A = this chain, B = another copy of it.
Amino acid sequence: MEKLSIIKIGGNIIEDETSLNAFLKLFSNLEGNKILVHGGGKRATHVASKLGIESKMINGRRITDAETLEVITMVYGGLVNKNIVAKLQALQIDAIGLTGADINSIQSDKRPVKDIDFGFVGDVKKIASNSIDKLIKADFTPVFCAITHNGNGQLLNTNADTIASTIGVGMSKIYDTSIYYCFELNGVLQDFDDKNSVIKNINSNTYKELLENGIISDGMIPKLDNCFDALNNGVQKVHIGNTSMLTKENDNFTTITL
A residues with a Cβ closer than 8 A to B are 47, 50-52, 70, 73-79, 81-83, 85-87, 89-90, 94-99, 101-104, 131, 134-135, 138, 140, 147, 149, 151-155
A226 to chain B, nearest CB (A): 25
Which of B96, B99, B103 contacts A94, CB < 8 Å? B103
Q: Once the chains bind, are B47 and A50 in contact (CB under 8 Å)?
A: no
Known: A50-B51, A51-B51, A75-B74. A131 touches B82 (CB 8 A): no
A127 to chain B, nearest CB (A): 15
Q: Once the chains bind, are A74 and B78 in contact (CB under 8 Å)?
A: yes
Known: A47-B74, A140-B103. A82 touches B147 (CB 8 A): yes
Q: Which residues of chain B come closer than 8 Å to A101, judged between CB atoms?
A: 82, 85-86, 89, 95, 97
Q: In the complex, which residue of chain B has the Cβ closest to the Cβ of A140?
A: B103
A50 to chain B, nearest CB (A): 5
Q: Which 9 residue pairs across A and B have the least CB separation, nearest first?
A: A78-B78, A74-B74, A90-B153, A77-B78, A86-B101, A74-B78, A134-B138, A77-B82, A86-B149
Which of B89, B99, B151 contacts A85, CB < 8 Å? B99
Which of B77, B95, B134 contacts A102, CB < 8 Å? B95
A130 to chain B, nearest CB (A): 10
A49 to chain B, nearest CB (A): 11
User: How far is B98's CA from A232's CA once the two chains are assembled, in angstroms?
Assistant: 35
Q: Once the chains bind, are B89 and A104 in contact (CB under 8 Å)?
A: yes
Q: Once the chains bind, are B74 and A79 in contact (CB under 8 Å)?
A: yes
User: How far is B100's CA from A86's CA once the two chains are assembled, in angstroms?
Assistant: 9
A-B contact pairs, 10 of them (CB 8 A): A78-B78, A86-B155, A89-B151, A89-B153, A94-B104, A95-B103, A96-B98, A97-B101, A131-B138, A134-B138
A10 to chain B, nearest CB (A): 19
Q: Once the chains bind, are B73 and A82 in contact (CB under 8 Å)?
A: yes
User: How far is B87's CA from A83's CA once the two chains are assembled, in angstroms?
Assistant: 24
Q: Which residues of chain B come closer than 8 Å to A94, judged between CB atoms?
A: 103-104, 131
User: How far is B75's CA from A108's CA once the two chains are assembled, in angstroms?
Assistant: 23
Highest count of chain B CB atoms <10 Å: which of A78, A102, A103, A154: A78
Q: Once the chains bind, are A83 and B73 in contact (CB under 8 Å)?
A: yes
Q: Which residues of chain B come closer than 8 Å to A47, judged between CB atoms?
A: 51, 74
Q: In the complex, which residue of chain B has the Cβ closest to the Cβ of A141?
A: B103
Q: Which residues of chain B come closer than 8 Å to A90, judged between CB atoms?
A: 151-153
A133 to chain B, nearest CB (A): 10
